[in-house]
Amino acid sequence: MRYSKSVFIAVGLLSLLFFYQNCGGSFNSNLYSQIQFSSQESDVSNLVENSQIDATTNESSLEESVDLQEPITTSFVFPDSVELQPFSDPLKNQAMPNYLSSFQETQFGTVSTRVATKSALGITNNPTHSYSKRQAWNIDESFLVVRGVLLDAETYRVIRSLPVSSEFNWSNLNRSWIYAIAYTSGKGNDFVRYDVEEDKKVSLRLFSNHNSCSFGSGEGNLTNDDRFVVIRCDSTLYSFDIRDNKILGQISIQPDFNWAGFSQLGNHIIVSNNAGGERNVEFYDKFFKNKRSKNYLRFGHGDFGLDEEGNEVYFQTTWNYLFYDRLSDLKRVWVIGNESVVFAHGHISCRNLKRPGVCYFSLSNYGLIGSVRVPALTSDAQYITTNWGKDGKSGYKVNNNKFEIWGHHRSDGNIYDAQPKASVSPSGRQIIYNTNWFDKGEITSIVVRPDQN
**DSSP for 264-297, written as a single string:** TTSS-EEEEEEETTEEEEEEE-TTS-S-EEEEEE
CA angle 143, 354, 100 (to 5 degrees): 35
Predicted local confidence at residue 394, as pLDDT: 76
Q: Which of 31-35, 337-341, 352-356, 444-448 has the lowest mean pLDDT?
A: 31-35
Predicted local confidence at residue 274, as pLDDT: 83
Domain range list for the chain: 5-450
Q: How far apart are CA 372 and CA 410, in angstroms?
A: 20
Average pLDDT (35-54) is: 37
Indicate whether 405 pLDDT > 90: yes
pLDDT in tens, 300-315: 789 999 999 999 999 9
Predicted local confidence at residue 391, as pLDDT: 45
Which CATH superfamily hosts domain 5-450? YVTN repeat-like/Quinoprotein amine dehydrogenase (2.130.10.10)
Q: How far apart are CA 82 and CA 406, in angstroms?
A: 11
Indicate whether 49 pLDDT > 60: no
More reliable by pLDDT, 328 or 274: 328
Indicate whether 298 pLDDT > 70: no
**Among 46-55, 64-73, 220-229, 361-370, the range of highest mean pLDDT:** 220-229
Closest CA to 250 of 266, 233, 265: 233
Q: How far apart are CA 93 and CA 204, in angstroms?
A: 51
Q: How far apart are CA 307 and CA 376, in angstroms?
A: 5
Return phi, psi of residue 205, to 5°: -165, 140
Average pLDDT (133-147) is: 97
User: Is there a contact between 444 and 117 (Cβ–Cβ < 8 Å)?
Assistant: yes
Return phi, psi of residue 137, to 5°: -100, 155
Rounded to the nearest integer, the mean pLDDT of the chain is: 82
Average pLDDT (366-376) is: 91
Return phi, psi of residue 10, to 5°: -65, -45
Percent of the chain with pLDDT over 90: 57
The DSSP symbol for 175 reads: T
pLDDT in tens, 279-296: 789 999 999 999 999 877
Q: How far is CA 438 from the centre of its chain?
A: 26
Pairing of strands 246-252, 257-262: unpaired
Predicted local confidence at residue 187, as pLDDT: 82
Indicate whether 77 pLDDT > 60: yes
Q: How far apart are CA 33 and CA 258, in angstroms?
A: 34
